[in-house]
Chain A
Amino acid sequence: MTKAVADDTKVVRGIVLRRDPAREPCFDIVDLHEQVPDSGMQTEEARCQRVHREYNQEVQTLEIAAICLADFPAAPWELRLELARQCWDEARHTALMYRRLKEMGGWKGMYPIANLDWSVVAMLDSLAARLAVQHRTFEAGSLDIETFAIQMTHELGDHETAEIMEAIEADEIPHVRFGNDWLRRLADAEPRTVLQVAAAMTWLRRVVDATGGEPLHEVATAAEARELAGFSTAEIAEVARLEKEVLGTAAGMPPGQSGE
């Protein structure tokens, strides 16, 4: 399951996870999402918390795409190109969120951050498993969450943040799509891939259970976004069912803290 060596790992609630990526000293790094302030969406302070959280989520997603490039030099070149492009997209998303944070009067390190997505995905020792967890689960889950959050942010009058979120969501759909596409291609080329993915998803459920995935949030599956991202109708229905039965939210994590 793991690619990381012992020095690169940490133990959180009995689960071995990848040690956090490098951060500047201004950041207070915590292990769990529940330790990151989240006051909802209604107040300016709450929205600032959310933008700060997203700022770190975007950079984590950059770090995950980047480490996939570094760790799997034998991956098909076309897939590596997709990951390289994703690095640029996530860098831009991070910059957008940082710019918005500063416009709102915030700053780097204003709130604690958690790097749980990185700590989970960077533990997986196959690229297929990483695509399944990061692209097909975390990022696809964020499509559902963002679709809901964009509308809510507009309703609250924060149109600037909502427009940034919408631009980011448009970029995320191709990321999920190439994850879906390449998972199928890798599985066709190597049937063992299916076992790697199944093992990774089983492990992810254990991680979510151990790290405190919150109870079900009322976030509907964003069927249109998922269709654009390459999910079949049957897969979308299955995701909706799993949301209710297994994971809580799509990724088992609070809105705004799943994927990106």
Chain B
Amino acid sequence: MLTVKERGQFVATMRYVQVWLMETLAAWVPTTPEMEVKLLFGEHIWDVAQHADALGKRTFELRLPLQHSLRPNEAYVDFLADVAAIGPTPQRLSAVYDVLLPALSTRYRRYMEQTDALSDAPTVRILERDFADTDRMVRAGHALRQELPDLQLKDGAWSAALLAREAAIDPVVASSAGALAVEA
């Protein structure tokens, strides 16, 4: 069973990732040419902001400051930096909707297997709500690419490699000694 400290670290780290995703989608809105993609990102900025907000409220219940973020381990930070630097729209879409969002759901599920569903029920409830949103977001990403096939990534190996790189980083939470708090 996870300790309160471990729960807080996971939640604060996931908040960091959700805030990062909000900022990345936001930065991509003006630099992505396709109108339909701008609108998809615009909608999902609000989804991930709400995820970050719910996680940030939970950190306060886990003996951490309100809206507290923890920087993940360096490998994950490097991974996120590489994703943020992606330019072409098909790769941006694939990185978010084929790789990052499904990977976060996988991490959430793994966390739920490890934590106590009763004593950590508020975290579980937050993650369960995020699943529903994330499913909707992923479906929207797929639907858009079916509607506009030019946005479909031709090279499936690219996203498979990115997914494998993400999965290889485990755990994503930085060690306590190296964990760096980030302002909301």
CB <8 Å contact, A74 and B35: no
CB <8 Å contact, B29 and A67: yes
Residues in B with CB closer than 8 Å to A62 are: 29, 38-39, 42
A147 within 8 A of B: no
Top 3 A-B pairs ranked by shortest CB distance? A91-B42, A84-B49, A88-B46
The total of interchain contacts (Cβ-Cβ below 8 angstroms) comes to: 88
CB <8 Å contact, A67 and B38: no
Taken residue by residue from 86 to 113, chain B's Cβ proximity to chain A (1 for < 8 Å, 0 otherwise) reads as 0000000000000000000000000000
Taken residue by residue from 16 to 46, chain A's Cβ proximity to chain B (1 for < 8 Å, 0 otherwise) reads as 0000011111000000000000000000000
Choose one: B30, B53, B184; the contact of A22 (CB below 8 Å): B30
Query: Do A94 and B35 contact each other (CB < 8 Å), given the known contacts A67-B30, A118-B30?
Result: yes
Q: How many interface residues does chain B have, given as a range?
A: 20 to 34
CB <8 Å contact, B45 and A88: yes
Q: Give the shortest distance, in Å, between A98 (CB) and chain B (any CB).
A: 7
Q: Give the shortest distance, in Å, between A54 (CB) and chain B (any CB).
A: 13
User: Taking chain A's interface residues, is the majority helix, strand, or loop, or is none over half, making it mixed?
Assistant: helix
CA separation between A70 and B27, bound complex, in Å? 5
CB <8 Å contact, B42 and A80: no
Residues in B with CB closer than 8 Å to A21 are: 30-31
Query: Do A63 and B67 contact each other (CB < 8 Å), given the known contacts A88-B45, A95-B39?
Result: no
Across the two chains, which residue of chain B brings its CB closest to A77?
Answer: B184
Residues in B with CB closer than 8 Å to A98 are: 35
Taken residue by residue from 47 to 69, chain A's Cβ proximity to chain B (1 for < 8 Å, 0 otherwise) reads as 00000000000010011001101
Instruction: Determine which residue in B27, B29, B41 has the highest number of CB atoms from chain A within 10 A of its CB, and name it.
Output: B29
Taken residue by residue from 43 to 56, chain B's Cβ proximity to chain A (1 for < 8 Å, 0 otherwise) reads as 10110111001001
CA separation between A187 and B38, bound complex, in Å? 32
CA separation between A85 and B34, bound complex, in Å? 21
B26 within 8 A of A: yes
User: Can you list 18 A-B pairs with a CB-CB distance of less than 8 A?
Assistant: A63-B30, A66-B27, A66-B29, A66-B42, A67-B26, A67-B29, A67-B30, A77-B56, A81-B50, A84-B22, A84-B46, A84-B50, A85-B49, A87-B45, A91-B41, A92-B43, A94-B39, A98-B35
Q: Give the shortest distance, in Å, between B18 (CB) and chain A (any CB).
A: 11
CB <8 Å contact, A91 and B38: yes
B33 within 8 A of A: yes
A108 within 8 A of B: yes
CB <8 Å contact, B45 and A66: yes
Query: Do A63 and B35 contact each other (CB < 8 Å), given the known contacts A69-B22, A69-B45, A88-B43?
Result: no
CB <8 Å contact, B30 and A66: yes
CB <8 Å contact, A22 and B49: no
B23 within 8 A of A: yes
B152 within 8 A of A: no
CB <8 Å contact, A91 and B26: no
B155 within 8 A of A: no
Residues in B with CB closer than 8 Å to A22 are: 30-33
Contact residues of B between 136 and 180, Cβ < 8 Å to A: none
Q: Give the shortest distance, in Å, between A7 (CB) and chain B (any CB).
A: 13
Residues in B with CB closer than 8 Å to A95 are: 39
Residues in A with CB closer than 8 Å to B41 are: 66, 91
B82 within 8 A of A: no
Q: Give the shortest distance, in Å, between B130 (CB) and chain A (any CB).
A: 15
CB <8 Å contact, B42 and A90: yes
A73 within 8 A of B: yes
Taken residue by residue from 7 to 20, chain B's Cβ proximity to chain A (1 for < 8 Å, 0 otherwise) reads as 00000000000000
